[in-house]
Amino acid sequence: MQRFLVLGGTGFIGRHFCEKASELECRLTVLTRRSDSAKAVQTLPWVDVIVGDAHDEATLNRLVAGHDAVVNLVAILHGSEAAFHRVHVALVEKLVRACQTSGVRRVLHVSALGAAPDAPSMYQRSKAQGEAVLTASGLDVALLRPSVVFGAGDQFLNLFAKLQAVFPVMPLAGAKTRFQPVWVEDVAQAMVELLQRLVRGTLTVGAGRVFEACGPDVFTLADLVRLAGRYAGHPRPILPLPAALARLQALLMEFAPGKTLMSRDNLDSMRVDNVATGKVAGLLALGISASALETIAPSYLQAVDSDPMLKRRRSAGRF
């Protein structure tokens, strides 16, 4: 039986990947910092949840050994340059050393569309640095670069739907930035296919090990916000923000209490379109016909307006 170590397996994409991979009757070891984060995967067949810190090199060395491949999904969307480096670069360096020490040669790494050394955001540049560490490692590596990922429980379309359930107008930064959103199930299926090709040794060299995961359609951010509001039953007018106001909005949201919804680094990333480059293979090369957002999103966004907590906040005049 094949055995795979999964880092970041309790996150949004990770949960869907574990569900699909467990259907292959392979053994998955999922490392998580908190056991309560693993509720969605610990009941799956062939999944073993281990509580530990992926950033602890001794833990990584101990867990990597004995597996046929490692899947790395660990990432953050917000933070300082040091935080991005710690998660997207230093962790990858530790993983490479652990693989080299244990003799595990195969790594499937989920990066991001737009990752480039000269990209405008810290997030994108750090993702590119992590990729560079892996490609220079001599390991058997496959890289998957998804565009923005949507699906039930996402923090993207759901967020815009919930905001429109409360606010009468949507002030929007980066309204004209183009995205090519991809369904989380298609991303998970691509990961399973790449993992199997790694194990079979059927991936080509060089650029043939890099894949972009994008949906079939391109939307501006304003388009996506409109769709989220319409599907959830409460569309709102969109007010595109000029650059200076967008920067101020992002700064205020960075320091707002609770979970960060937008940062200046997010705004920087939207200076370039988040669409397929066409320079590397896409989902079709993995035998996947990407699902259209319009056929998936309405089914889960329609439930937003029935959220009881949201109704209470709306009636109180606050979000």
Confidence bin at 316 (pLDDT 50/70/90): very low
What's the Rg (C-alpha) of the chain? Answer: 20
The strand ranges marked E within 155-195 are 170-172, 178-179, 182-183
Q: What is the pLDDT of residues 10-67, one digit of tens each?
A: 999 999 999 999 888 789 999 999 888 888 898 898 899 999 999 999 999 999 999 9
Question: Could you count the other beta carbons within 10 Å of the beta carbon of residue 261?
Answer: 14
**How many residues can be counted in the chain?**
319
For range 301-319, the mean pLDDT: 53
Mind listing the domains of the chain with CATH numbers?
A: 3-150+181-213 (3.40.50.720)
Per-residue model confidence as pLDDT tens digits over 199-257: 999 887 666 799 999 999 999 999 999 999 999 999 999 999 999 999 999 999 888 88
Report pLDDT digits (tens) over 56-107.
Answer: 999 999 999 999 999 999 999 999 999 999 999 999 999 999 999 999 999 9
Which residue, chain included where needed, has tokens 């989902």?
283
Q: Are 42 and 10 in contact (CB under 8 A)?
A: no
C-alpha–C-alpha distance, residues 57 and 70, integer Å: 15
Q: What is the pLDDT of residues 258-299, one digit of tens each?
A: 888 899 999 999 999 999 999 999 999 999 999 999 999 999
Question: How far is Cα 272 from Cα 38, in angstroms, rounded to an integer?
Answer: 35
Which residue intervals of 167-307 are DSSP H helices? Answer: 184-200, 221-232, 243-255, 264-269, 293-301
Other residues' Cβ atoms within 10 Å of the Cβ of residue 56: 12
Is residue 178 exposed (0-12), middle (13-18) or buried (19+ Cβ within 10 Å)?
A: middle
Give tens-digit pLDDT for 123-146.
999 999 999 999 999 999 999 999
Is residue 261 within 8 A of residue 273, CB to CB? The reply is no
Read off the pTM. 0.92
